[in-house]
Structure 1
Amino acid sequence: MDEKRGTGGSDRADAGGETENGPSESLEARRLRLNADLLARRTVEPGEGGSREARQGYALAVKLSSEFIAGVIVGALLGYVFDRFLGTSPWGLIVFLILGFCAGVLNILRSTGAVAPSPVGRSQAGQRGNDDGK
């Protein structure tokens, strides 16, 4: 095991004829260089992690804004089509635009986890809960 540790210094031509203080000085210089390199890499890595976090934040912002805008646009289009076919000029657009806004806000809340998505059989689960309690 000692042979493996000593091979780093024995490859150098100037290490053969020096005293015991000579190789230890070169070892100390290499240690200082290694510490400086490690410190430089550590300062670079958090910057890369910060840019990764920024990209994830940007992706989340795009996702949430697109969910909201999609809800508003779908509501406006449905309101326009409703008004066009039934002739109720501004009222269908106004009502469906408000419904699209509410749907967009609900989509954002579901995406962020503030509101849990409703289960499919919610009314059946409520009935079962009443049966179990009696």
Structure 2
Amino acid sequence: MADDTHEGGKQTDESRGNTPDEAALSARLGSLDQRLSKIEGGRKIGTDLSGDEQDTAQAKASAMAIGLRLSSELVAGILGGAALGWGFDRLLSTSPWGLIVFSLLGFTAGVINVMRAAGVMAKQSERL
């Protein structure tokens, strides 16, 4: 019973699939698993926000929402005025003048809306 896969009734490392390359790969995989576990544990700790950090994150999100609202108010005023001016130019054949005048009026209306939304107008009227 002497064949290449058995030596003295025992299987060799090669017959079980444990070549030196596979042993090195297994060690590397174990090391990678340990490093990933450490990183994952660190991320869980880093993402747990305390009460103060959550308040700060909510304040930043709220400030971003306010900024987007104010900028959309301004852009809407300008685009609305330009659209009205273009319409009047097409109807009355007053080439660029309607677009220019109504774009300026739209810009003015947009700035007033931004000031009103930001509360600047209310503060100024309280002073008077």
TM-score range for the pair, normalised by the shorter chain length? 0.5 to 0.7
Match among 74, 90, 96 for residue 96 of structure 2:
90
CA distance in 2, matches of 1:112, 1:85: 36
TM-score between both structures, scaled by the size of structure 2: 0.56
Please list every run of 5 or more consecutive structure 2 residues that lacks an aligned counterpart in the other structure.
1-48, 123-128
Matched, 1:46 2:59: no
Partner of residue 100, structure 1: 106
Which one of 62, 81, 90 corresponds to residue 87 of structure 2?
81
For 2:74, the equivalent position in structure 1 comes to 68
The structure 1 residue matched to 2:118, chosen from 78, 102, 112, is 112
Q: Distance in 2 between matches of 1:54 and 1:112?
A: 16
Once the two structures are TM-superposed, the CA of residue 44 in structure 1 deviates from its matched residue by 1.7
- What is the TM-score normalised by the length of structure 1? 0.53
Determine which structure has more spread, i.e. the larger CA radius of gyration. 2
Deviation at 1:58? 0.5
Unpaired runs of at least 5, structure 1: 1-42, 117-134
Shift of 1:67: 0.6
CA distance in 1 between counterparts of 2:75 and 2:53 reads 33
Question: How far did residue 45 of structure 1 move?
Answer: 1.6
RMSD (CA atoms) = 1.1
Counterpart in the other structure of 1:5: none
> What is the distance in 2 between the residues matched to 1:114 and 1:47?
29
| Aligned residue pair count | 74
- TM-superposed CA distance for 1:94, in Å, is 0.2
Q: How far does the alpha carbon of each residue in 1:78-121 deviate from its partner, in whole angstroms, 9 at most, with x for none?
A: 000000000000000000000000000000111111113xxxxx
Equivalent residue number for residue 38 of structure 2: none
| Displacement over 4 Å in runs of 4+ | none
